[in-house]
Structure formats: C-alpha cells, structure tokens
Amino acid sequence: MCGIVGYVGNGNASDFLIDGLRRLEYRGYDSAGIAVYDHGEIKIEKKQGRLVNLENVLKDHPLSGHIGIGHTRWATHGKPSDVNAHPHGDCHNHFVIVHNGIIENYMTLKKDLMAKGHVFKSETDTEIVAHVLEEVDDGDFLSTVQKMLTIIEGSYSLVILDAAHPDTIICTKKNNPLIIGLGKGENFIASDIPAVINHTRDIYILQDEELAIVTKGSVQLLDRDGNPIHKEIQKVTWSAAAAEKGGYPHFMLKEIFEQPKAVHDTVAIHLNKDGSVNFDDLGWTKECFEGITNILITACGTAYHAGLVAKHYIERFVKIPVSVEIASEYRYSKPLTSEHTLCIVVSQSGETIDTLEALKEAKRHGARSLAVTNSIGSSIAREADHVVYTLAGPEIAVASTKAYTTQLVALLLLALYMSQLKNSISADLIQKITEGLKDLPKQIEKVLGEKDHMSDVADRLIKAHDIFYLGRSIDYAIAMEGALKLKEVSYIHAESYAAGELKHGTLALITQETPVIAVATQDNVSSKMYSNIQEVKARGAEVLGIGYDDDEEIGKYTTETVRIPRVDPFIAPILSVIPMQLLAYYTSIKRGNDVDKPRNLAKSVTVE
Ligand code: F6R
C-alpha cells in the first residue's frame, strides 16, 4: 500500500516526484504529498484526494529544489485528510519522511515523546518516526537513522530527508518494497519500477533492514550496523511503454488485451520442442516428491482463485491431495503442515504481507516451498525455496487480469511438469494440453472479439443490485474470480456459487431482479449445469451463459450466451474468465467509476 518516491540530482525534484507518484498512484490514492529542500529549508505540500489535487496546490505554491521525497497514500492509521497525508515532519521539519507500512509501537512512543514536549500534527503512526529521529539526533544522519531503527517496531519502507544534510537521502525497508534507480548525476527512489522506468533501467532492489545513503553522485548500500554491502545492479527488461496506457483509455482494458502476449510468453519459456514441459531450473527430480504427501496452496484474492483452479490441475495430474487456503486465515490457523507438505504461494506483487507470512509459517512447519509470482526479486520470491515467474509484465490496474491468466498458465504447466517427473499421466495427455496452450493466445484473441458484446451486456447490468455467478468444478473457481472482478470495479454486489449448492438455500434469493452469469465449460458436469441454469431461469432470472462455440445445448436454457472456442476443459478457464473481465470493466466505466483505481482498494497489500 502507498507509493513512495525520492529524487536527488540536478533536475527539478518536484517534476520527478509528481511524475513518479502518478505512475505509483495504483498503490494508494486517498492523498498525496511531496517535500523538497527549497531555499534552505524542507518545505512540504500535501493534499487529500487524488494526485491532481496536489498538482493544483503546487501550481500556486511550487516547490523548487534538487532533492525531495513524495508519497501517495492508502490510509491505515488516521482518515484520509490533508494533515494525515505524507510527508510528515518532526516539530521543526528538520527530519521529514515518507513511509509505507505500519509502526506497531507508535502509541507507546507517542506518549513518551509527548511527555518530552513533542507536538504531533497528525493521527498517523508514521509521524512518530520523524519525532523519534528528532529526539535521537546526534548530528550524524546515518547514526541518527540507525538509532531510530532500534526504537521503532513494525513494517516500513522509509525515505528520509535531514535539513542538516541537504544533499543526501537515507532510505531503508522491512517487509515493504523499495528500489533505487541509478541515473547519471541523479538517483531515484521508489516503491516500484514504473516510477523510475522513464529515467533508468538500472536498479538496486533493497532487501529488508538494508540502508541506502543516496546522493546525486553515489549510492552507498549498508547493513543495519553500517557495514558496506555489495549488490548486483538489476536490469529492468520491460520497456517504459509497458507501464503506459498505450492508447487505451484505461490500464485495465490494456491489460485485458495484453493477455495473448502475456500467456504466450509464460508458455513459451516452459515448453520443449517435443511438447514436454521444462522447469529444469527448479532442479527437481522424481525423488523430490517421494516424501510429499500433500500440497498446500496459499494466496489472497485473485491469486487465491488461481490456486483453486490449480487444485484441480494438481490433483488430476500429479495425484497428490491439495488444500487451498486464504493466506490471512492460514497463517493463524495452527496448521497441520509438515515436512511432507509442498507449499505453493501465488502472488502477483510478491509483496502481499499475508501471503509472505503464510509462506514463512508453512516453512516453520517444515514445508518445502515454491512461489509463483510476477515480481522478480520480491520478498516472496526471495523467501520461497523455489520460484516460478509469470511473464505478465507490469500490471498497473488494481484489478488483476493478465497476472491471473498467467498464474493459471504457470500453475497448469507446473502440474504437468510434476506429473512428467512422477510419471503420473501419459506423455500423450501432456502433449495434448501443451499443444492447446500453444494455440491459446490465438483463442484469447477470438474471445477478446466479444468486447462489444460484453459492453452491451454491461448496459443491462448497470442497474442491478445483486448478480450471481454460477459454475461447477473448475467453473466454480472461475465464477468466484468473475464475481470478485465485478465487485471490485463496479461496486455491484456479486456472489459466486457452486451451482449444485444453490438449492440448499440460496435459490431463495433468485428473482427476476438478480441476473445470473453461468459458466459451463466442464463437460463432465455440463448436463448438471444446464439443470441449474433452468432452476434459476424458472425463478425469473436472466441468465448469461458462457459456453463453447459448439455447445448446442446451453443456448436452449440461457437468455443469452457468450461463446468461447472449444478447448480442453483444463484450458477453458483461461478463456472463460475473459468475458467476465470485460463485463466487469464495462460495467464499471458505465457506472462512472474510476476503473483503474477502485474505491478503498490498492494494488499491493503490504499491511494485514
Ligand atoms: C483483485 C486483486 C487482489 C489480489 C490480492 C493478492 O483483482 O488483484 O485480490 O489478487 O490482493 O495480491 P498479490 O497477487 O499481489 O499477492
């Protein structure tokens, strides 16, 4: 949560800070602020609401200087307001900071500092850090920061200005991301790569409890005790254009339309010419699975839904029982995980705190671990024993689309690879599915052709108060993702249901006022699904079916059907989710919502 930027160089700091914040606004957007060392003092401007509000303030009160920090906020402690917006300063704005995370012991510290005469302006946990710095200031910027770090508890990325050292920024992190972009005669700090990509492709990814002393000509990396550390410079491989809208009105639509490429790229790196699957980098052998009696998949939100689909893949192909757990539940569940468990965590950002902690919990119980993530070098990627990267490219819209479909692809390939090692299914079946995966980008293109159709359907849904999403087997997992997508961007209540479960209570809610989306791609349960569609139709519901183009039956029962090409039922979810993504997108924009930045949400959830 929250986007952080910092700049030191010869340029106008405000320009980079505002541009960087715009590119990080997906991380938080309830207030924004910047601080710049301007004519001998650190000046702060901050404003509640979207970044544009801050830009308007800066038109009348520009900040000019060559060093500064900025922040776009997603409120945790203290409501969104001008005064609670970051940056925060101490009593004299001598130390000014921006922060992402939570300072857990702030109440105790605040009481002590108030007793010593410190005056607090905001309700935030963050402001405490500036006052602790002021309290322990010994004139040496680094040692003051080190002392402060021994006092605060919690999670943080922190970027700090010190009025006595107007050429230097110090930053550090724990359980929240922070990168440093290396320029020529200028350096950049940010929570995420899109903020710096227009300026440099060379970055350092800071690890927990590392510190960086950043000036315009140097970046010194240190451990918490001040010992120098060496770190490889990472080259960002994707282009600046990948983090731009590129002619699309919104990132969400662009990212939906990037799925053919994202899926192609994720498939291509794991397929051998003979149709077998290659994850040889993992260094796994048949023997690796000998002691594994169960697989745990844990994740949050959309990534959790990808895990629910993967359960079907793994149980069918690898023949090991799989449990799928919501990470925030798993981590406090006193789990029965053991050294016989393989724990798979799924996370687009690689920074979701609940998923990271669930992974650590599984490891504490002896589990071996693998992360499926879209973020190279992220906390989750580093914590897991093994990593599989999805090649979705940067996903900026808060609602996940291409990251989800690439997670499905990576998990399907992984299940096939495990079954290849274990010899648990035939080479022919593996080849049949991999052939299907090779064709998938073309099939996705075809489904994207349903764009206008889904826009028309959205016209009829925008007034609905409740929408039901039904499916059976894998289609139930997809229905869950469809409902989440609609809820988060359209703000219409949607509920997903295992279609066979409806008559055990929920059918009471179905009337002509409750449109139903019914997914029917799993051949082994399609006749059951048709019956369930008739049950809701008989109660007056309008039903939008999602079925194969050669399915002659489904259209007899639905009000309207959107068609996907006939593919293997294990591949079908990667296609059937696309009409639901489009439907969510159009419903959102037709209701006048900010589809890329839905209310109350942020992209990377690094708080509990
Ligand atoms: C919904 C969405 C969220 C994320 C969830 C986990 O569209 O994006 O539900 O899937 O917050 O995030 P990651 O995958 O970054 O761990």
Q: What tokens appear for 365 in the block? A: 């119980």
Evaluate if residue 246 carries a pLDDT over 90.
no
pLDDT tier, 415 (very low <50, low <70, confident <90, very high otherwise): very high
Task: Answer whether 348 contacts ligand 1 (Cβ < 6 A).
Answer: yes
Query: What pLDDT score does 161 carry?
Result: 98
List the chain domain ranges. 3-243, 247-446, 449-592
Ligand 1 atom nearest residue 349's Cα: 15
Counting atoms of ligand 1 from 1, which one is nearest the CA of 485? 7
Ligand 1 close to Cβ of residue 605 (< 6 A): yes
Residue from 305, 352, 387, 400 whose mutation best tests the ligand 1 pocket (most atoms within 8 A of CB): 400
Average pLDDT over residues 206-225: 96
- Helix (H/G/I), strand (E/B), else coil: 178: coil
Which residue is it, tokens 């200087």? 65
Mutate to test the pocket of ligand 1, among 192, 300, 324 (most ligand atoms within 8 A of CB): 300
Atom 5, ligand 1: which residue's CA is nearest? Answer: 301
Work out which ligand 1 atom sits closest to the CA atom of 302: 10
Smallest CA separation from ligand 1 atom 6, residue: 300
Q: How far is the CA of 403 from the centre of ligand 1 (A)?
A: 9
Kindly list the catalytic residues. Answer: 2, 603
- pLDDT digits over 98-131, tens only? 999 999 999 999 999 999 999 999 999 999 999 9
Rounded to the nearest whole angstrom, what is the distance from the C-alpha of residue 349 to the centroid of ligand 1? 8
Indicate which atom in ligand 1 lies nearest the CA of residue 348.
Answer: 14
To which residue do tokens 């969104």 refer? 80
Grade residue 205 by pLDDT with cuts at 50, 70 and 90. very high
Report the mean per-residue pLDDT for the chain.
95
pLDDT score of 607 more than 80: no
Q: Write the residue with the smallest CA distance to atom 8 of ligand 1.
A: 400
Cα of 562 from ligand 1 centre, angstroms: 26
Span 463-511, pLDDT tens digits: 999 999 999 999 999 999 999 999 999 999 999 999 999 999 999 999 9
pLDDT at position 407 is 98
* Residue 569 clears pLDDT 90, i.e. is over it: yes
From 1, 27, 74, 302, the mutation candidate for ligand 1 (largest count of ligand atoms within 8 A of CB) is 302
Q: Indicate whether residue 345 lines ligand 1 (CB < 6 A).
A: no
Taking residues 568-588, report their average pLDDT. 98
**pTM for this structure?**
0.88
Ligand 1 centroid distance, CA of 301 (Å):
5
pLDDT in tens, 288-304: 888 999 999 999 999 99
pLDDT in tens, 358-405: 999 999 999 999 999 999 888 999 999 999 999 999 999 999 999 999
CA-CA-CA-CA dihedral for 484, 486, 487, 493, to nearest 10: -110
Q: Kindly state if the Cβ of 303 falls inside 6 Å of ligand 1.
A: yes
The Å distance, Cα 192 to ligand 1 centre, comes to 16
Task: Please work out whether the CB of residue 347 comes within 6 Å of at least one atom of ligand 1.
Answer: yes
- Lowest-confidence region among 233-247, 267-281, 507-521, 571-585: 233-247
Q: How far is the CA of 392 from the centre of ligand 1 (A)?
A: 14
Please tell me the predicted confidence (pLDDT) of residue 290.
85
Task: List Cα–Cα distances, 396 to 28, 302, 392, 543, in angstroms.
Answer: 12, 15, 11, 32
User: Which among 218, 141, 169, 202 is positioned nearest to 67, based on CA atoms?
Assistant: 169
Mean pLDDT of all residues in 30-58: 95
CA dihedral 87, 90, 94, 100 (to 10 degrees): -30
Whether residue 406 has its Cβ less than 6 Å from ligand 1: no
pLDDT band at 245; cut points 50, 70, 90: confident
Question: Residue of the nearest CA to atom 16 in ligand 1?
Answer: 347
Half-sphere exposure of 265 (CA within 13 A, CB side): 17
CA distance 150 to 233: 28
For ligand 1, is residue 400 a contact (CB within 6 Å)? yes
Residue 400 C-alpha to ligand 1 middle, in angstroms?
6
Pick the CATH number of 247-446 from 3.30.70.20, 3.40.50.10330, 3.40.50.10490, 3.40.50.300: 3.40.50.10490
| pLDDT of the residue at 426 | 94
For position 416, what pLDDT does the model report? 97
pLDDT for res 237: 83
Atom of ligand 1 at shortest range from CA of 403? 14
Phi first, then psi, for residue 562 (nearest 5°) are -105, 135
- Nearest atom in ligand 1 to the alpha carbon of residue 407 is 14
Q: Whose CA is nearest to atom 11 of ligand 1?
A: 301
Pairing status of strand 466-471 against strand 493-498: parallel
Domains 3-243 and 247-446 share a fold: no
Q: What is the number of the ligand 1 atom nearest to the C-alpha of 605?
A: 11
If pLDDT is split at 50, 70 and 90, which confidence band does 603 have? confident
Q: At CA 285, angle to CA 279 and CA 287, rounded to 5? A: 150
What pLDDT sits at residue 336? 93
CA of residue 512 to ligand 1 center, whole Å: 32
Give bridge partners of residue 322 from the DSSP assignment: 295
Query: What is residue 193's DSSP assignment?
Result: G
Task: Give the rounded percent of residues in the chain with a pLDDT score beyond 90.
Answer: 89
- Torsion sign across C-alpha atoms 106, 109, 115, 120: negative
Q: Is residue 328 lining ligand 1, measured as CB closer than 6 Å? A: no
3-243: CATH architecture: 4-Layer Sandwich (3.60)
CB distance 352 to ligand 1 below 6 Å: yes
Q: Is the pLDDT of residue 606 over 80?
A: no
Ligand 1 neighbour 298 (Cβ under 6 A): no
Taken in order 324, 330, 335, 337, the sign of the CA dihedral is positive
- pLDDT at residue 483, rounded to an integer: 98
Question: Which ligand 1 atom is nearest residue 404's CA?
Answer: 10
Would you say residue 608 has pLDDT above 80?
no
The model's confidence at residue 273, banded by pLDDT at 50, 70 and 90, is confident
**Is the beta carbon of 399 within 6 A of some atom in ligand 1?**
yes
Question: In percent, how much of the chain has pLDDT > 70?
Answer: 100
pLDDT of 117 reads 96
Tell the residue number behind the tokens 């509000």, with chain if given.
53
In this prediction, residues 201-212 reach a mean pLDDT of 95
Distance between Cα 603 and ligand 1 center (Å): 7
Assign domain 449-592 to a CATH class. alpha beta
pLDDT of residue 441: 97
Q: Ligand 1 centre and the CA of 264: distance in Å?
A: 22
R_g over Cα of the chain: 25
